[in-house]
Amino acid sequence: MYEASVPRFAAMLRNLSAILDKAQAHCDARKIDPASLTSFRLFPDMFPFTRQVQVACDAAKGAAARLAGIDVPKHEDSEQSFADLKTRIAKTLDFIESVKPAQLEGSEDRTVTIKLRGEDVKFRGRQYLFNFAWPNFYFHVTTAYDILRHNGVELGKRDFLGNPLG
């Protein structure tokens, strides 16, 4: 469960951080106010870019903590700039990488309870990771990527995937 979670979340968060560098460079080169990208949403009922990154971080730290049976750290949702978001990603990486493989031993069968729309939903650890945590995480990372790509930031598949050899 450790190998299927912490290193995977960490790799994608590092890719997301690098994507933020490209977004900032894009704004600098074109003299675009970065807030026009950080506040952008693909559709009015979707979260803006900033919230997409926050939720991706929350999904990663939440999964690592819940699978380890420890408290999920709280992060204020006050980020506004690319630099702020990179700091959020760095804090998330620090936390998830502090979780040791031994803490996730047996977590495939651990009961994980989360609140969804005000209701407690119970999962087994494996079900939680593969059917909820991963899809939720990738949804928000992908949407953040798509927002930047839609707005002309020169990104490609390699930026999203990073180095597949790790």
Question: How far apart (Å, rounded) are the C-alpha atoms in residues 47 and 27?
Answer: 21
Taking CA atoms, 28 is separated from 82, 148, 152, in Å, by 12, 14, 13
Q: What is the per-residue pLDDT across 122-142, written as a single tens digit (0 to 9) for each?
A: 999 999 999 999 999 999 999
Taking CA atoms, 102 is separated from 1, 68, 106, 122, in Å, by 10, 9, 9, 23
CA 87 to mean position of chain CA atoms: 13
pLDDT at 166: 62
Average pLDDT across the chain, whole number: 96
Do 71 and 59 meet the contact criterion of CB atoms below 8 Å apart?
no
Taking CA atoms, 17 is separated from 10, 44, 140, in Å, by 10, 25, 14
CATH class, 6-161 region:
mainly alpha
Give pTM, 2 decimals. 0.96
Q: What is the per-residue pLDDT across 58-111, written as a single tens digit (0 to 9) for each?
A: 999 999 999 999 999 999 999 999 999 999 999 999 999 999 999 999 999 999
